[in-house]
Chains A and B, each alone.
Chain A
Amino acid sequence: MFDGLISGAAHLAAPTNILFLFFGTALGIVFGAIPGLTATMGLALLVPFTFTMEPSTGLLMLAGIYVGAMYGDAIPAILINTPGTPAAIATTFDGYPLSQKGMAQHALVAAAFASCVGSIIGNIVLAGAAEPLAEMSLKFGPAEYFWLGIFGLTIISVLSSGNLLKGFITAGIGLLLSSVGMASLSGEVRLTFGFPEMQGGIGLAGALIGFFCLPEILSNVIGKRRDTYAGEQVQPSLRVIVETGIDLLKRPVLMLRSSIIGLVVGIAPGAGGNIASMVSYSEATRWEKNKEEFGKGTIRGVAASEAANSAMAPGSLIPLLTLGIPGSPPAAVILGALMLHGMQPGNDLFAVYADVTYAFIIGLMIASIAVLILGTAGSFIYARIINVPSRLLAPLILVMTVLGSYAIRNNLLDVWVMLIFGIIGLILNRLKFEPAPLVLGIILGPYIENGLVQSMMIGGASGSVLSYMTLRPISLFLIALCLISALWPVFMAWRAPAKTDTVNSTSESGLNSDRIMGIASITIAGIALVFTQELSLYGGVFVYFVAGALGVLGTVTLIKGFVKPEKIKFFESTLECNRILLGLGMLSLYLVLIPILGFLISSLIFYFMMSISLRDSAITKKFVLIATSQAVLVVTGLYALFFYVLQVPLPAPIWE
């Protein structure tokens, strides 16, 4: 191993290699930061360029992209509450509140710092103990994935800020949404209501963009006309960097815990950064002191999420480099690149190609330092983005949401899904339901379903499904974790009796959120049950379980709505209501126009209209001129980037 490390380090003495490594890292940050572009896409686009490079140079560039993207996705999560990739969902929980307090730079630096630490810890383990840990990765079978998914669900108790019933209802809806499309194992088509386009299921990326980004814009910018996107202006300074760094250095337990969680989830084949950061965040809220700060803006929350998703990357490379099994989608692309250079994962990598392999591993570590450098230096620039007046920023972000949700699968339906999720997100916010459990449900659904169905098959063949699912070491461990996690709130309540319900700050008039959600859940569960009657046992079992549970939870909520009514004012004023509806109307019109006028023309129209509508003072000639030139500049710039550089087939006008 040490020979390998030394000959590997020799590759990094070459200036070209270091240059490509930094280039890759910078590019990775960009791909991570733009919602709709992912690490996987960035890697895939650059793999062809590595054909003509030395294997070590090419791999170092890819290493940079992978590591950079794991940090980059935190930037929009912090600044505009939109996770750049699913791995940064948990980063929004504290990152965005920090931005709203004017502490965007704190969050950005914490993310860069934690990403760097997580990545370095992960890489040390990768370099030192890849082979024994690879054996562990193979132990993850269907039963283990099922319990991992269930354990993930127990995070709801953390995410739903004390209201478990609400959390589980939204998670149940998320689980059902995850089953839309083709059942990944039985191949049956479910709940697509006759649209072949829906067979691809609900795109997570589009759903995330709509769910996290749209409600913020609709409420704050379009509805309330807040001047700046996040509320407070931010003044970046060197002092913030030093402060944040020292603060995190004083928390080695948090950093280590988060990194180990990320590493372990990464080693489990197929489970990626999204689970890693969620689990790490919820464990941080469980074990850290002053837990009431979480969710209101603490750099510890940002660090927990980012350290975990950055440690996930080297973790996912452990089964990849030793067994050829990718632990995450981007790792799968790296596998492709390795094979193209004639390097077959397995023993060869650590023997025949040891120098290149170790150069790659060391490259990953240097890339994480590059992330720290680019991230802290860049925080001066990124943080200022949210100082831009929101009426200038909002049209741009809205066009980006459309572009991002389209580009991920080149599917216009995904853009509509994005808009619908935006509306759902807004409604949930207003009804005082936390949105995060719904996303958790969409993410965890496939793990739970596949684990359950395969366990039924394999357990059935061995005689007993139940004993197959429970009597295995990792399963037992995960079951114990589930129990601890589920009983934790009870334990906490017993230790420190909760203060009496403080919910009743509601007005007399208004909507009864429990009744609305109760009826909605029962309806959704009913629809899911009625339209899945034709399915085989394996294709339907998950839907039946979840719909059944959702029906029960919905009924309980409905009863609660009658017994203990909780009235909520949906809109603060008619003006706000009208503004939000106008915004939604313009977005819908935009989406209708795209297939007719093409992306370019409809975006120009939308951008211009949106700029005008966000202006409250008189519309002067000068303003029209500025708005027009902005629209042309921004939209054509984005169009050129996506259409010509990234070769995304943006819709053309109908006459072309």
Chain B
Amino acid sequence: MRSIMKGLMGLLLLPTLALADGYPEKNVVYQITFNPGGGSDIRARQQQPELEADLGVKIPIQYKPGGGGSLGWAELVKKKPDGYFMSGINIPHIILQPLARDNAGYKTEQIEPVILFQQIPFGITVMADSPFKTLEEMIAYAKENPGAVTIGGSGTWDATHIAHLQFEKMAGVKFTYVPHKGGKPKQTALLGGHTMASWFGVSEWLPYGDKVRNLAVATEEPVETNPDLATFKSLGYDLYSSVYHGVGVPAGTPPEVVARLEQSFTKIANDPEVRARKLKDGILPIAMSGAEAKALINARKEVWAPIVDEFK
């Protein structure tokens, strides 16, 4: 059944795209900009066999960790734009790093997104025994005690940090943002009571079940896993925060090559089994085309650039 669906989908896509003749002729390197064994790596290794089957060549996975991914993306934009080197990309990282650092080693425009295949929405989470039952209560407390509420995040100039800055501005209150060295230390800090609240992704709070309580999620519509959870929008804050994972190639790669890669990745992203597994883990399975991804990047950049300038 799965293979029939895949075949059908392939048939539907084929006539609409002018695909590169003969591409790929040799191995296509898939670069991971984080450490071996991390989320990005494991995702890529799950895609690897299907990509190899679909493209008919080997997809060796290479690592270039460091600088929160920037070393790898700097490597990506130095490569020949011929479609034989692609890299995992993360939004907002590839937007915020060049904005916040004088010399990140690359510019956002130098990366051509091929596809974004998953989205993790973020929200504010507290422990189940926290005195803050709702977002309003937390804001009210912070208004009376500026800076006394500590909210953890995964780093500086990452998704959680920028969402935090936007939220503080919208709510007109001052919290104390506590950055951590990544998602896991942030979770540990909340669980151990070292921070009072924390910016968690859906996939981060789900495993803790009843131990934690979510105050709001920064999406347009309520999330499937927590249908009763308020969105920031419904509470009057125009805040949207998600991390997107996808794949990019150096800018200037021929469009038909990008289209061929997009086709392969779209096929994997739309696999019902893959979708079901992601949903269960609190990850939204998407298959956002390169063009849509570009539009998203440009829109976000416009919102974030002034904020980064203000707080840098």
Binding site for B on A (CB under 8 A): 40-41, 43-45, 47-48, 51, 137-142, 181-189, 194, 196-197, 199-201, 269-270, 319, 323-326, 329-330, 332-333, 336, 339-340, 342, 344-346, 409-411, 446, 450, 454, 457-458, 460-462, 647-649
- Tell me if B253 is interfacial: C-beta within 8 Å of chain A: no
What is the CA–CA distance of A183 and B155 in the complex, to the nearest angstrom?
10
> Which of A40, A187, A344 meets B36, CB within 8 Å?
A40
Binary flags per residue of B59-80, CB closer than 8 Å to A gives 1, else 0: 0111111111011001000000
- Tell me if B108 is interfacial: C-beta within 8 Å of chain A: no
A185-B179, A187-B157, A457-B178 as given contacts; A333 in contact with B36, CB under 8 Å: yes
A323-B191, A325-B187, A461-B150 as given contacts; A196 in contact with B36, CB under 8 Å: no
Residues on B with beta carbons closer than 8 Å to the beta carbon of A139: 192
Say whether A270 contacts B185, CB under 8 Å: yes
> Which of A142, A269, A457 meets B184, CB within 8 Å?
A269
Say whether B35 contacts A40, CB under 8 Å: yes
What is the CA–CA distance of A330 and B35 in the complex, to the nearest angstrom?
11
Residue of B nearest to A183 (CB): B156
Say whether B37 contacts A187, CB under 8 Å: no
Query: Beyond the given A47-B45, A196-B74, could you list 20 further A-B residue pairs with CB under 8 A, ordered by the A residue number?
Result: A44-B37, A140-B188, A185-B181, A186-B156, A186-B179, A196-B103, A199-B66, A199-B70, A199-B101, A200-B65, A201-B66, A325-B184, A325-B188, A332-B37, A340-B42, A344-B207, A346-B209, A454-B194, A457-B178, A461-B147
Shortest distance between the CB of B163 and any CB in chain A (Å): 15
Residues on B with beta carbons closer than 8 Å to the beta carbon of A140: 188, 192
A185-B180, A324-B207, A450-B181 as given contacts; A409 in contact with B65, CB under 8 Å: yes
For this complex, 22 residue pairs linking A to B, each with C-beta atoms less than 8 Å apart, are A40-B36, A43-B36, A44-B37, A48-B49, A140-B192, A141-B193, A142-B194, A185-B180, A186-B179, A189-B101, A199-B66, A270-B181, A323-B191, A325-B187, A325-B191, A333-B37, A339-B281, A340-B42, A410-B63, A454-B180, A461-B148, A647-B61
Say whether A189 contacts B207, CB under 8 Å: no
What is the CA–CA distance of A340 and B46 in the complex, to the nearest angstrom?
9
- Tell me if B262 is interfacial: C-beta within 8 Å of chain A: no
What is the CA–CA distance of A410 and B296 in the complex, to the nearest angstrom?
31
What is the CA–CA distance of A363 and B284 in the complex, to the nearest angstrom?
35
- Tell me if B264 is interfacial: C-beta within 8 Å of chain A: no
Binary flags per residue of B28-54, CB closer than 8 Å to A gives 1, else 0: 010000011111011001101100000
- Tell me if B176 is interfacial: C-beta within 8 Å of chain A: yes
Say whether B194 contacts A458, CB under 8 Å: yes
Say whether B195 contacts A458, CB under 8 Å: yes
Shortest distance between the CB of B32 and any CB in chain A (Å): 10
Residue of A nearest to B179 (CB): A185
Residues on B with beta carbons closer than 8 Å to the beta carbon of A196: 67, 70-71, 74, 103-105
Chain B at the A interface: SS class: mixed
What is the CA–CA distance of A138 and B190 in the complex, to the nearest angstrom?
9
Which of B65, B67, B195 is the most central at the interface, judged by chain A CB atoms within 10 Å of its CB? B67
Say whether B188 contacts A460, CB under 8 Å: no
Say whether A346 contacts B207, CB under 8 Å: yes
A196-B74, A200-B66, A336-B39 as given contacts; A138 in contact with B191, CB under 8 Å: yes
Q: Which residues of B200-214 have CB atoms within 8 Å of chain A's CB atoms?
A: 207-209
- Tell me if B173 is interfacial: C-beta within 8 Å of chain A: no
Residue of B nearest to A200 (CB): B66
Shortest distance between the CB of B119 and any CB in chain A (Å): 18
Residues on B with beta carbons closer than 8 Å to the beta carbon of A40: 35-37
Say whether B64 contacts A411, CB under 8 Å: yes
Residues on A with beta carbons closer than 8 Å to the beta carbon of B150: 457-458, 461
Residues on B with beta carbons closer than 8 Å to the beta carbon of A340: 42, 46
What is the CA–CA distance of A206 and B38 in the complex, to the nearest angstrom?
21
Residues on A with beta carbons closer than 8 Å to the beta carbon of B207: 324, 344-346
Say whether B62 contacts A649, CB under 8 Å: yes
- Tell me if B259 is interfacial: C-beta within 8 Å of chain A: no
Say whether A47 contacts B37, CB under 8 Å: yes
Which of B68, B71, B157, B158 is the most central at the interface, judged by chain A CB atoms within 10 Å of its CB? B71
Residue of B nearest to A643 (CB): B60
In this complex, the interface size class of chain B, counting residues with CB under 8 Å from chain A, is 35 or more
- Tell me if B100 is interfacial: C-beta within 8 Å of chain A: yes
Say whether B37 contacts A141, CB under 8 Å: no
Which of A142, A201, A342 is the most central at the interface, judged by chain B CB atoms within 10 Å of its CB? A142
Residue of A nearest to B65 (CB): A409
Shortest distance between the CB of A569 and any CB in chain B (Å): 40
- Tell me if B149 is interfacial: C-beta within 8 Å of chain A: yes
> Which of A44, A187, A342, A458 meets B68, CB within 8 Å?
A187
- Tell me if B102 is interfacial: C-beta within 8 Å of chain A: yes
- Tell me if B223 is interfacial: C-beta within 8 Å of chain A: no
Say whether B179 contacts A409, CB under 8 Å: no
Say whether B71 contacts A411, CB under 8 Å: yes
> Which of A43, A346, A458 meets B37, CB within 8 Å?
A43
> Which of B61, B102, B148 meets A462, CB within 8 Å?
B148
What is the CA–CA distance of A194 and B101 in the complex, to the nearest angstrom?
12
Residues on B with beta carbons closer than 8 Å to the beta carbon of A47: 37, 42, 45
Shortest distance between the CB of B171 and any CB in chain A (Å): 17
Residues on B with beta carbons closer than 8 Å to the beta carbon of A410: 62-64
Residue of A nearest to B194 (CB): A141
Residues on B with beta carbons closer than 8 Å to the beta carbon of A454: 178, 180, 194
Say whether A409 contacts B45, CB under 8 Å: no
Shortest distance between the CB of B219 and any CB in chain A (Å): 23
Say whether A457 contacts B176, CB under 8 Å: yes
Say whether A45 contacts B179, CB under 8 Å: no
Residues on A with beta carbons closer than 8 Å to the beta carbon of B64: 409-411
> Which of A186, A336, A411 meets B66, CB within 8 Å?
A411
- Tell me if B189 is interfacial: C-beta within 8 Å of chain A: yes
Shortest distance between the CB of B272 and any CB in chain A (Å): 16
A185-B179, A200-B67, A647-B61 as given contacts; A138 in contact with B36, CB under 8 Å: no
Residue of B nearest to A51 (CB): B46
Residue of B nearest to A196 (CB): B105
Shortest distance between the CB of B95 and any CB in chain A (Å): 14
Residue of A nearest to B43 (CB): A336
> Which of B41, B71, B187, B277 meets A200, CB within 8 Å?
B71
Say whether B103 contacts A182, CB under 8 Å: no
Say whether A41 contacts B103, CB under 8 Å: no
Say whether A194 contacts B62, CB under 8 Å: no
Residues on B with beta carbons closer than 8 Å to the beta carbon of A199: 66-67, 70-71, 101, 104-105
Residues on A with beta carbons closer than 8 Å to the beta carbon of B176: 457-458, 460-461
Residues on A with beta carbons closer than 8 Å to the beta carbon of B67: 181-182, 196, 199-200
What is the CA–CA distance of A411 and B67 in the complex, to the nearest angstrom?
13
Shortest distance between the CB of B306 and any CB in chain A (Å): 18
Shortest distance between the CB of B126 and any CB in chain A (Å): 15
Shortest distance between the CB of A291 and any CB in chain B (Å): 37
Residue of B nearest to A407 (CB): B63
Residues on A with beta carbons closer than 8 Å to the beta carbon of B35: 40, 44, 329
Which of A137, A333, A410, A460 is the most central at the interface, judged by chain B CB atoms within 10 Å of its CB? A410
What is the CA–CA distance of A344 and B189 in the complex, to the nearest angstrom?
20
